[in-house]
Amino acid sequence: MYTVRAEDSFAAAHYLKNYHGKCENLHGHNYKVRVYVKGRELDPGGMLLDFGILKKILKKILEEFDHKNLNDVPFFLERDPSAELIAYYIFQLIKEELPNAGRDCTLNRVEVFETEKNLAYYEEEDI
């Protein structure tokens, strides 16, 4: 099994309505996002998926979040924009875009770092 990873970042504000502590107040993070794609077959050039394609997909998706209040993003109107749910939402958005990349590969994991030391990730279970 082969894996490729792309990384990008965005800056955004948020607050957590269902949390009691300082994070219930509006505050911001410089988020880092890592995306992992896996697959068994390489193309004739020896690549699973061109890094440029994966980076372009990720950049397009993160534009929705950059310099925004995440609580105003439609997906988060009824949910707290926790790192876990941000990872889940980004996973779903990339999963929709990946088949358009023209390769037989699968989105494996999305990691969202709120800080250099704290991250949450989402990955689907293998069934």
CATH number where 65 lies? 3.30.479.10
Q: Which of 23, 64, 84, 123 is catalytic?
A: 23
Tell me the CA distances in angstroms from 39 to 34, 96, 109, one per residue in order: 17, 17, 13
- Does residue 111 form part of some domain? yes
- Compute the distance between CA of residue 48 and CA of residue 15 in angstroms, rounded to an integer: 38
- Does residue 98 form part of some domain? yes
Number of domains in the chain: 1
- Does residue 68 form part of some domain? yes
- Per-residue model confidence as pLDDT tens for the chain (127 residues): 999 999 999 999 999 999 888 889 999 999 999 999 999 999 999 999 999 999 999 999 999 999 999 999 999 999 999 999 999 999 999 999 987 766 788 999 999 999 999 999 999 886 4
- Does residue 12 form part of some domain? yes
Sheet holding 27-39, edge to edge: 68-69, 2-14, 27-39, 106-113, 119-122
- Does residue 110 form part of some domain? yes
Q: Is 114 annotated in the active site?
A: yes
Q: Is 105 annotated in the active site?
A: no
Which H helix or E strand runs over 7? strand 2-14
pLDDT on residue 94: 96
Tell me the CA distances in angstroms from 4 to 7, 36, 66, 74, 81, one per residue in order: 10, 6, 24, 30, 27
Q: Is 67 annotated in the active site?
A: yes
Q: Which of 7, 67, 96, 124 is catalytic?
A: 67
Q: Which of 64, 84, 97, 114 is catalytic?
A: 114
pLDDT on residue 127: 47
Q: Give residue 59's region: left, alpha or beta (phi > 0; psi -120 to 50).
A: alpha
- Does residue 113 form part of some domain? yes
- Does residue 93 form part of some domain? yes
- Does residue 127 form part of some domain? no
* Domain boundaries, position 21: 2-122
pTM of the model: 0.93
- Compute the distance between CA of residue 13 and CA of residue 26 in angstroms, rounded to an integer: 7
